Amino acid sequence: MKMVFRWFGEGNDFIPLEHIKQIPGVEGIVWALHDIPAGEVWPMEKINEVKQQAERLGFNIDVVESVNIHEDIKLGLPTRETYIDNYIKTIENLAQAGIKVICYNFMPVFDWVRTDLFKELEDGSTALFYENSKIANIEPTDLVNTISRNYDFTMPGWEPERLDYLSDLFDQYKDVTEEDLWDNLHYFLNRIIPVAEKNGIKMAIHPDDPPFSVFGLPRIITNKQNIRRLLNLIDSPYNGLTLCSGSLGASEDNNIVEMIQEFSDRIPFAHIRNVKRFENGDFIETSHRITDGSINIYGVMKALYDSNFNGYVRPDHGRHIWDEKCRPGYGLYDRALGIMYLWGIWDSLVRTRKETNHYAVNQ
Ligand code: DNO
């Protein structure tokens, strides 16, 4: 397991790389060029700039999250050709800089959706929260205005180029069914997976967050059956999955451990975090600890370990604790605690296997 940490870039993240360096066992940063709109080519100079910043502290930049997909590709419009050509150019540029994994998603309009970014937990910390009844009674534009317009930074997944044309986008998706979305994803993969293969980059699709339709938009990367379908669309190790325990875990029908057991050889990258689900379908993000949420984080780590997982893992959204001023979900403190929890489980699995082998040898 290679531990990595998401960082939003110089001048765009509250956390200096020097602080990330002090978290035990972090080998690389997970990054993106957040100022390049979806659909445009990522220029070599800008990629190299991040590489230099990271390498100064001994970090790799092997994992990119995300190269976002232009809506015209998801909608299957004729204009998708140019955007796919640009995507291919970006893959080639990233390969030149040594990138190994590209995380992306295929969610229409919105990436992740929550109703409250700073909901208080019992311990006084705050975290991202999803409230079913609120979604049922709010217009998407109002949600955007209450959630994401209050900051002087752009949140990933809520970039201005999506939000400024919200009602047009909703109109365009009016007649797009889940099957249309599958077709458009298949078309996109047919063009990019051969390029990814040639360039040694694994494409790792992120599941939909939450894993069900929101505001009537189609969503397809939501459960085991659909992930199997995605991986079978093109049966190549370069067509992979970002296993996100928190996104998939927001639905009680998803058994993450079983998914890892079935798909382990197609998971180059994992996001590990916990969420607490409520009976009415609401959910809140919690600490990574197994007892704080609904997800069997120990089981997730053990399933990865048992499959000899050698990919990249990052802690995912944390709570906001100790009065930290940070991006929602992306503070330093709780994600660092999360890492130590993940290492704790991992190291004891390694230790147990060693001791068992030793015992067996000495019998
Ligand atoms: C939110 C993230 C997502 C994720 C994308 C991957 O915090 O988990 O924005 O990066 O869905 O493409």
pLDDT in tens, 173-226: 999 999 999 999 999 999 999 999 999 999 999 999 999 999 999 999 999 999
Is the alpha carbon torsion for 333, 242, 91, 183 positive or negative?
negative
pLDDT at 137 (0 to 100)? 92
Q: Kindly state the average pLDDT of the residues 37-52.
A: 97
**Ligand 1 contact via 112 beta carbon (within 6 Å):** yes
- Statement: residue 309 has pLDDT above 80: yes
Q: Show the domain range for 8.
A: 2-361
> Burial level of 128, CB count in 10 A (0-12/13-18/19+)?
buried
Tell me if residue 142 is catalytic. Answer: no
pLDDT at 160 (0 to 100)? 76
How far is ligand 1, taken at its centre, from the CA of residue 95, in Å?
Answer: 21
Q: How high does pLDDT run on average in the chain?
A: 95
**Ligand 1 contact via 8 beta carbon (within 6 Å):** no
The count of residues in the chain is 363
Report residue 180 as tokens.
């249309």
pLDDT at 164 (0 to 100)? 79
**Ligand 1 contact via 65 beta carbon (within 6 Å):** yes
The CATH number assigned to the domain holding 342 equals 3.20.20.150
How far apart CA 194 and CA 329 sit, in angstroms, is 35
Residue nearest to atom 8 of ligand 1 (CA): 112
Q: Which residues contact 337 (CB under 8 A, 6 or more apart)?
A: 287, 288, 318
pLDDT at 149 (0 to 100)? 65
Among residues 317, 333, 334, 341, the one annotated as catalytic is 317
Tell me if residue 206 is catalytic. Answer: yes
Question: Which atom of ligand 1 is nearest the CA belonging to 68?
Answer: 12
How far apart CA 361 and CA 253 sit, in angstroms, is 42
Amino acid at 111: D
- Peptide bond just before 37 cis, omega within 30 deg: no
Using alpha carbons, select from 315, 310, 312 the residue that is nearest to residue 6. 315
- Statement: residue 312 has pLDDT above 90: yes
pLDDT at 2 (0 to 100)? 98
Among residues 111, 208, 209, 244, the one annotated as catalytic is 244
**Ligand 1 contact via 30 beta carbon (within 6 Å):** no
- Statement: residue 142 has pLDDT above 90: no
**Ligand 1 contact via 157 beta carbon (within 6 Å):** yes
pLDDT tens-digit readout, 27-36? 999 999 999 9
pLDDT at 292 (0 to 100)? 97
- Name the residue of 7, 151, 206, 320 to mutate for ligand 1: max ligand atoms within 8 A of Cβ: 206
Least confident of 125-129, 141-145, 317-321: 141-145
Question: Which atom of ligand 1 is nearest the CA belonging to 107?
Answer: 11
pTM: 0.97
Number of domains the chain is built from: 1
Question: Which atom of ligand 1 is nearest the CA belonging to 330?
Answer: 7
